[in-house]
Structures are given as C-alpha cells and as structure tokens.
Structure 1
Amino acid sequence: MDIEHLTKHQIILLTLLVSFVTSIATGIVTVSLMDVAPVSVTRTINQIVERTVENVVPAVSAPASKAQGAAVVTKETTVVVKDEDLTAASIAAAQKAIVRIISKNDPTMLVARGVVVDMKGIVLSDRGALEPLGTLNFEAILPSGDKVPAVMRMPTGSSTVAVLDLDVSTSSGKYSAIKLADQSKLRLGASVIRIGGTGADTVGVGVIAKLPDAHFNLIEASVLSSTPGSIIITSFGDLVGIVTAASALYGADFYTLATSP
C-alpha cells in the first residue's frame, strides 16, 4: 500500500496504531530493566502513611430547651512519604536522643555512645565498655554539646546493656527520648538504619538478617558497626538494638536488643 494514497481517516488510524505499539514496547523494556536492576534501586518505593485527624466542631443549633453539644468529625487523609525522606527524618529525630559517654579523668576519650530512652534522662549504653574503667561516674555530651554528669546504675543480672541516669538539673542542654521498637513486629528483611561512629555521626542502611530467639538476645543486621553504644533503628526511628561487648563477640553485624530499663 502506498502511504501517499491513504485517506485522512487511515492516516489517523495508522498513527494511533504506531503509538499503541510504541507504548507497549516501552512498557516491556521498562519491566525488563526493573527485573535486572540492583536491589538498592528497586527499593526506592514510596511508602503510604495513613493518618487520622480529629476535629471538634460545634453541633447543629438545638432548641433552647436542649443542651448544646459538640460532634467529633474523623477525617482520614493519606500522605505519600518517599523512603529517602522518611530515612532522613528518622535519622534527624534519633540524633536528638544520642549522647556520648566520656571519662571524667580524660574528657577527650570517648568511652561509648548512649541513647536516651526516657525524658527523665535514662540512657542505654554498652556495659562492657564502661565497667573496665572501674567507676560508675561519667560525663555525657548532649546533642546540644553540653556536658552533664552521668551515673551508671549498679549492673543487675547478666544484661550487657548499661543504664545511666543523667543529671540535667544544672544544664539547659536539650535532648529527646527515642521510642523502643515493638519487638513482636520485627520482620526479616525489614529496613534498619545504623547510627554510629567514633566522632561525628555516621549512618548506614541495611535490613534485618536474623531475628533473635528465646535464648539469644541478639539481632543480626546487614549493616555493620564496631563502636560501643552504636544503635540500629527502624525506618520510622524506633530503637531496635545497640552494640555491646556481648554482641561484638559474634561480629560487627550483631546488636543487643534494646529493652525498657
């Protein structure tokens, strides 16, 4: 068929056919590329976060003889949050709860990292790093840079996690408390974020590689850390585990589960 002799209607139909075939080919190529793409690329999936907003509004006017009330209107909205934005926000929130434990005799020496789990100033850290110094009295550098006294509680049982109490009565330094993750909701392959480092905070992203069992209070992740007191958190910023001397014996990819003191 000579294309020059096609009618207008035939040209339009031919154009639509070419567009349709092109779109199908593009879709096939895209799907094929996604199948062979690295996991780090394909995991950039938008997460859906549902929030419930409650507004109290006055009730419809009633006769004077009847009491007026208020009605609660529940409105559900859906907010789309990108993985990278959620990760950055979770890291920023967790950093406000991170402290650095130093020796009173040598303020330049970082003994271990710690994380505030209660606004009363309760901190979790690595017992194995603190005990060898032979004292219960330390100093903690708050996220604001202020130094405050930190007293380690007498160890009880075989727990390798140290509990310290901050004395912030004479300091105006600010900090936040991190929320503990619900251990029953931890899943293999779930994303976790490591925050550690001997100096400035360093981060890494990985997944839960092995869940703890009833006799094994350690969790394994695909992201490593060797700094005492480093933590791993969920993608939503909840505390999962902490590096201790006991977890380090199994490797830099193991963390002691964080529990309420």
Structure 2
Amino acid sequence: MTHLVEWDAPSRRRAEEDWEPPSRRVGRMLGELMLAAGLVLVLFAAYATYGKAWRIESEQNALAGELDRSWAASAGRPVEGQPMARIHIPKLGRQWAVVEGVSQADLRKGPGHYPRTAQPGQIGNVAIAGHRISSVFWDVDRLDRGDVIVAETRTGWFVYRVVRQRLVLPRQVEVIAPSPGRPGEAPRKAMLTLTTCNPKFQNWQRLVVHAELVREQAKSRGRPAELKGHP
C-alpha cells in the first residue's frame, strides 16, 4: 500500500527550489566535465614544460660528469646515447652536454648530435637537435647574426658565429646536409646547425639556426675569450 504524505507549505517550497530542469542539469554536468578536462590539460602542459625540463636537468648533471670522465680517460668516439661534446651559448647563459643520437631516448637527456654529421671543427655540418622546452632550446629564437656558439671537445674549443635563422617544415631535412640547404654538394665550410620545434608547445615547423666556424683554440690555452663570464 502506498501512503500519501501531505507536505506542509515550507517543505513544498524547499522541494520546488531544489528541483532542477533536466536541460539545466545536463548543461551543469557538461560544464563540470569541461572544467575537469581543462584542468587535466593544464596539468599535462605543466608536466610537459616543467616535468620534462626537471628530468633533463637531472640527466644533464649526470652527463656532464660522464663526459669529463671520458675525456680524462681519452675515450674514443662515443656510441649512441653517450655524451660526445659540450656546447655553450653565452647569450642565453646556457651550456649542455650533447649526446650522440637523436632518438626520443637520446633527446630525453638533452641536445643530440645527428649521427653521420660532422664533428666539431670539421668541414661539414655539426647538426644538433633539441626539444623546445625550458631546459634545452626554449630561447634559441633569440639568437641573432653574429652571436656565439662554442663547441667544446676533449682537446679543443670551436667558436662558431650565427649566420642565419630560418623556419622550415619537418620534411626539409636538407638543413642538416653537409652543405646546409644544398644536399649532394660537397661542403666547403665548417658549420654548426641547431634544430628545434616551432612554435613553442607545437611541432609543425622546425626552427633552424646555422653558424659558421670562425676560429678554434686548443684546450691547453685555457677557455676562449668568447666564454668570459660564462659558466
């Protein structure tokens, strides 16, 4: 048997105030879902920007020590995933140990050297890739013509100066050719090329910085003047 309960006036008013039309309820639920999804995207972006940056900084600390030990032991050419050189960019106040290789595993450690491209100081193109995050190539768009990039090896310093910055599509791999932009042509200059994603937080372009070797200096002569005041 169903019992009917007679509501008093205050109870009826509260029930009417609590009642919500189905359309409004659906709209409220969708709004809450969108807010939650937005929060997830914000957290993901924060991890992509700062979480990866922190991890690479940690990897760089380990690589710096590994690189110094390999130089002290006069180790030969590094295998993929191992540090092979160090680059310094005074304008950005940054330096990185560069690993051999450009796989995702390699680039999680910092900048990576494209295999089969030139070594620092050689005629040809030293091609180096890096993620566009705060701990790697975030600010390379600030480099202008004439700015310095110094490559450091076990035996020497190689001072390059920026000659060009450009934006290309990912398929334009000729930018890392021995003669950048002219695949198949024999190189005549010693070049260094940095590549990274563009725009920031996206990857539908590549930002490319080309530099030419202007001089080299033996390690026995100390640090080059271009790194004065640079760590």
* Bigger RCO of structures 1 and 2 (CA < 8 A, at least 6 apart): 2
Q: TM-score range by the shorter chain?
A: under 0.3
More strand by percentage: 1
More helix by share: 2
In the superposition, the TM-score normalised over structure 2's length comes to 0.25
TM-score, structure 1 as length reference: 0.23
